[in-house]
């Protein structure tokens, strides 16, 4: 009985503010074009169920630089490579911070993490420096190359161990990427070797990571209409808080084990968490001391951003190769010629496999792990392509739409790795943020810190799965009938998990013993 008048009052207040804001801006600087906003909620209803699809369709009507009004928040959307370059290169410093959002508040320890830290300042630089030096530098990546190769080999044995049972490939890939990252971060594996989704602990972790990505990808109305935030009308904040408790328990146990000496296994290389704990008592010249909460927030970032993104990308790649058997055969022939059939492909072989690399690039183009870039905020007003971008505007880059732009790509919906080979339309394009036509890791100051690790892991996994198995779909499903629909979240999941029968194509000794 008491909530209804409050909601009504909030709506009336919001309507008045909305009208005043529109009267003020209508006659001021020229904003980019966009759909007419509704009262109070603005363009939130226009986002639809799958926002990167809806925004791509809007861009066809209004152009590659759009202005939306989500509640009371100005939002600009970049939907072409040229516009993205303006924001992420020319005006990169102005868009180096994150806007406030409920996901960072309720899940990521109230902005104490690296990914959602709102200010491009000393604390953020400290966390980024720690990761860059101890986890993502060339030396660190080379030091732990054997870990990734060992975990991928374990994956091949798990696939063989499934026998005639259908395999949920994404689940096993997630176990592999998580264990590979955990051994570097924690000095030990966190999941067992059971195959086919048979490890309840691994299933629970996968579900938690997917839920993080789904909730973080939701457009929470409270983020855009502050007076409604406390009401949590969609129930999103409640779910975020509950998920945070589960993740905090998982991370807290890991941290305490390390502090008491029961954590990482012995290794010639120090794991990241041991390094982080040792830094707790050191005062960084810029960012100050590292707290327990910051350590857990950083582990949360790494476990979520560094596992599911890689495993889902590989799942999309294998799905595409199953749908294009001639490409799978061509990739197998390349690996057989370069590596042979008597041992598993290694990271050192990857530079000699241009067609395999082209397959990975094409997968990143057609199925970017983050279809809408993580939001940024304008620290100051600026001008882009002759349009006024107000201070405080949220920037969204539609990575998915840019990579499917018919003005940049011929037959953009077709899976064609040859476009990245000599004679193709983009033979020199990379995916590291230098070529804005395909930016799966973002670009500029807030690009993905783990890009180099992600590339290595995805390339090695795809190469190994191509080399070691032929692939059949479960239940006799024909490749042309495979469901390739997307499930929206912060990361691009498949709507239906890929169920497969892996068929070994090499001699048994190559896979090693269980």
**Higher pLDDT pick, 18 / 385:** 385
- Model pLDDT, residue 275: 84
Contact criterion met (CB below 8 Å) for 220 and 101: yes
Judge whether residue 381 has pLDDT over 60.
yes
SS3 176: helix
- Model pLDDT, residue 193: 55
Residue 78's H or E segment, with its range, is strand 73-78
Domains and CATH numbers, the chain: 31-511 (1.10.630.10)
Neighbours of 500 (CB within 10 A): 23
- Model pLDDT, residue 88: 97
Q: What's phi and psi for 123, nearest 5 deg? A: -65, -45
- Model pLDDT, residue 4: 39
**Tokens for 413?**
């919906």
- Model pLDDT, residue 195: 45
Q: What is the pTM of this model?
A: 0.89
Judge whether residue 495 has pLDDT over 90.
yes
> Which of 64-73, 102-111, 160-169: highest mean pLDDT?
64-73
- Model pLDDT, residue 191: 82
Judge whether residue 6 has pLDDT over 50.
no
**Tokens for 311?**
């495993």
Q: What is the largest CA-CA distance in the chain?
A: 74
Residues flagged as binding site for heme? 448
- Write the pLDDT tens digit of every residue in 454-480: 999 999 999 999 999 999 999 999 999
Average pLDDT, stretch 9-19?
A: 50
| C-alpha–C-alpha distance, residues 439 and 437, integer Å | 7
- Model pLDDT, residue 202: 72
Residues 374-395, buried b or exposed e (16+ Cβ, 10 A)?
Answer: bbbbbbeebebeebbbbeebbb
Average pLDDT, stretch 279-283?
A: 65
- Confidence category of residue 416, pLDDT binned at 50, 70, 90: very high
Which of 104, 117, 48, 119 lies closest to 223 in space, CA to CA?
Answer: 104
Which of 346, 385, 374, 460 lies closest to 62 in space, CA to CA?
Answer: 385
Judge whether residue 11 has pLDDT over 60.
no
Query: What percent of the chain has a predicted confidence (pLDDT) above 90?
Result: 66
Torsion sign, CA atoms 91, 452, 490, 408: positive
- Model pLDDT, residue 23: 46
Which residues, other chains included, contact 453 with Cβ-Cβ below 8 Å and sequence gap of 6+? 135, 136, 141, 306
- Model pLDDT, residue 353: 98
Residues flagged as binding site? 448
Which residues, other chains included, contact 117 with Cβ-Cβ below 8 Å and sequence gap of 6+? 98, 111, 123, 124, 127
- Write the pLDDT tens digit of every residue in 150-196: 999 999 999 999 888 999 999 999 999 999 998 998 888 888 754 44
SS3 162: coil
Average pLDDT, stretch 55-63?
A: 97
SS3 504: strand
């Amino acid at each position: 009985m008491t909530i209804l008048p409050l909601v009504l009052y909030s709506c009336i207040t919001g309507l008045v503010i909305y009208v005043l804001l529109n009267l003020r801006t209508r006659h001021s600087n020229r904003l980019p074009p966009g759909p007419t906003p509704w009262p109070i909620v603005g363009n939130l209803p226009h986002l639809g169920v799958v926002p990167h699809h809806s925004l791509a369709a809007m861009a066809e009507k209004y152009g590659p630089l759009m202005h939306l009004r989500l509640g009371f928040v100005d939002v600009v959307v970049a939907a072409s490579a040229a516009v993205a370059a303006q924001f992420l290169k020319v005006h990169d410093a102005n868009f180096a911070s994150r806007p406030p959002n409920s996901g960072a508040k309720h899940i990521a320890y109230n902005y104490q993490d690296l990914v959602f830290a709102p200010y491009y300042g000393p604390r953020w630089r400290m966390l980024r420096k720690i990761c860059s030096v101890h986890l993502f530098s060339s030396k660190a990546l080379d030091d732990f190359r054997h870990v990734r190769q060992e975990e991928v080999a374990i994956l091949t044995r798990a696939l063989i161990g499934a026998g005639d049972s259908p395999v949920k490939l994404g689940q096993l890939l997630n176990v592999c990427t998580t264990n590979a990252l955990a051994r570097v971060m924690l000095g030990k594996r966190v999941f067992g070797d059971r195959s086919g989704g048979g490890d309840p602990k691994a299933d629970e972790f996968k579900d938690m990571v997917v839920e993080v990505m789904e909730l973080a990808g939701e457009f929470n109305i409270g983020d855009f209409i502050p007076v409604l935030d406390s009401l949590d009308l969609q129930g999103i904040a409640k779910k975020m808080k509950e998920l945070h408790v589960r993740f905090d328990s998982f991370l807290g146990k890991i941290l305490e084990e390390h502090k008491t000496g029961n954590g990482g296994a012995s290794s010639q290389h120090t794991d990241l968490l041991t390094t982080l704990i040792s830094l707790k008592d050191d005062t960084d010249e810029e960012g100050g001391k590292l707290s327990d909460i910051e350590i857990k927030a950083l582990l949360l970032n790494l476990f979520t951003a560094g596992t599911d993104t890689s495993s889902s990308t590989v799942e999309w790649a294998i799905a595409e190769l199953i749908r294009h058997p001639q490409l799978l055969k061509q990739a197998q022939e390349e690996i057989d010629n370069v590596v042979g059939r008597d041992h598993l492909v290694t990271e050192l072989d990857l530079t000699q496999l241009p067609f395999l690399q082209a397959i990975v690039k094409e997968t990143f183009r057609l199925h970017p792990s983050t279809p809408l870039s993580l939001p940024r905020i304008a620290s100051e007003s600026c001008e882009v392509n002759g349009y006024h971008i107000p201070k405080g505007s949220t920037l969204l880059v539609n990575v998915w739409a840019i990579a499917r732009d018919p003005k940049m790509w011929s037959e953009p919906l077709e899976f064609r790795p040859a476009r990245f080979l000599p004679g193709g339309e983009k033979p020199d394009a990379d995916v590291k943020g230098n070529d804005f036509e395909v930016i799966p890791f973002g670009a500029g100051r807030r690009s993905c810190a783990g890009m180099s690790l992600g590339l290595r892991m995805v390339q090695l996994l795809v190469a190994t799965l191509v080399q070691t198995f032929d692939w059949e779909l479960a239940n006799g499903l024909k490749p042309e009938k495979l469901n390739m629909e997307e499930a929206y979240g912060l990361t691009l999941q498949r709507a239906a998990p890929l169920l497969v029968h892996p068929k070994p194509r090499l001699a048994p000794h190559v896979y090693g013993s269980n």
